[in-house]
Amino acid sequence: MIFILPTIFHEDERYYAMGRGSFLKRFGYAVTRVAVTPDYNGHNTMNASELLGRGIAQGISLSYYPSQTRTASEIASKYGYAILRDASTNAFREFWPDIAVHVLHRHP
């Protein structure tokens, strides 16, 4: 179900690294990509497929947890952690080429 959301909302879910600019600008760009994504025409739009998809995934996962842990705060915490994890993954994708060159001394 979640894989179909980008098609429904006409969003391009791929992460495109900025690659140039200051650390803060690139980091900010990477982190905001969980909330902003290009549509099929290349215009920035709300990343509904990410935000709703994570919500759907959390809703499905509720059936696996004991009822005492199905509180609103627990659900919000798990949802927030999932979004934070995706933002962190985007930041890693943004800076991995720099890490590979400057720390691991791998040149493409």
* Residues 21, 64: Cα–Cα separation, whole Å: 43
- Tens-digit pLDDT profile for residues 24-73: 999 999 999 999 999 999 899 999 999 999 888 888 888 787 877 778 88
**Which residues contact residue 33 at a Cβ distance below 8 angstroms, ignoring those fewer than 6 apart?**
15, 47, 87, 90
pTM: 0.82
**pLDDT top residue among 86 and 73:** 86
Query: What pLDDT, on the 0 to 100 scale, is given for residue 2?
Result: 63
The helix/strand/coil state of 45 is strand
The residue ranges of every structural domain in the chain are 2-102
